[in-house]
Amino acid sequence: MKISVVIPCLNEEKNITSLIDALEAQDFKREDYEIIIADNGSNDRTYDVASASSADKVVVENNKGTNNARQAGYSASRGEIIAFLDADCRPFKGWLKNIWEIFEKDKNNEIGIASGPYRYTDAGLLGRFLSDIFQVLMIPALRILDFIFRKKWAIALGGNMAIRKEALEKIGGFDVSFVFFGDDADTALRIRRSGYKAIFSHNIAVESSARRFKKKGLLRTELNYVKAYLKLYFKG
């Protein structure tokens, strides 16, 4: 098995079917990837919808937290690469193919984690513009941090990332003490600082929902992400 796609879900019955349809439409052989739904203790019909779908496995993790669900999916996986999507993300047709090419071309197994941007199709023109600018500028900003403080940086967006299984094993899996903010950054930083490379590629972008920004505000949400990242970056 080349890739395991893990989808942590909490009350996502409305999103599962269209996400799996997008995965089934990938230009990647179906026998080379598996789809794992990790139900994080939903109280709607998430489990029933997932079980009736073409997902290969449905696992249940009642301990709340995205990393708990990711860990459950990872534990059930068989792939060399473990890819993660949020339920409200929609991968473009070449998503899996491009992920596999990144790792396949890495003959010395130096890349531990790869991530890519979100494209917020429902955020409005201003929201999409500000989000795109943020995702373009964050890499140069992190390189400046590295230049100044000489601490290895890495970034990953939890709803669009792929991890070499041996790298995840090396760091002991996900830190399940995280409930939300900082969960993906912690994973990326630990993998990077364990000796692997971390890359951010615009070739593996996914469409995503801006529902979190709409609920809490774009600026406030982005600032929370930045604060969580900086706290982890300077830790240890």
How do the pLDDT tens digits run along the chain, 236 residues long? Answer: 999 999 999 999 999 999 999 999 999 999 999 999 999 999 999 999 999 999 999 999 999 999 999 999 999 999 999 999 999 999 999 999 999 999 999 999 999 999 999 998 876 776 677 677 778 888 888 899 899 999 999 999 999 999 999 999 999 999 999 877 789 999 999 999 999 999 999 999 999 987 766 666 667 777 888 888 999 999 86
CA distance 199 to 195: 13
Structural domains of the chain, count? 1
Q: What is the pLDDT of residue 86?
A: 96
CA distance 94 to 119: 15
CA distance 180 to 165: 22
Residue located via tokens 């070449």: 94
Residue located via tokens 């439409």: 25
Q: The pTM is what?
A: 0.93
CA distance 152 to 174: 19
Q: What is the pLDDT of residue 99?
A: 98
Q: Got the DSSP string for 130-160?
A: HHHHHHHHHHHHHHHHHHHH-------BTTE
Closest CA to 8 of 100, 54, 76: 76
Give the CATH number for residue 36: 3.90.550.10
Q: What is the pLDDT of residue 212?
A: 66
Query: Which two tokens mark 125?
Result: 């023109």
Handedness of CA 37, 187, 206, 181 (dihedral sign): positive
Task: Name the residue range of residue 184's domain.
Answer: 3-233
Buried b / exposed e across 58-75, counting CB within 10 Å, b at 16+?
A: bbebeeebbbbbbbbbbe
CA distance 50 to 20: 9
Within 10 A of 106 (CB to CB), how many other CB atoms are there?
16
Phi, psi for 77 (deg, rounded to 5) = -85, 160
Which one-letter amino acid corresponds to residue 102? I
Q: What is the pLDDT of residue 217?
A: 67
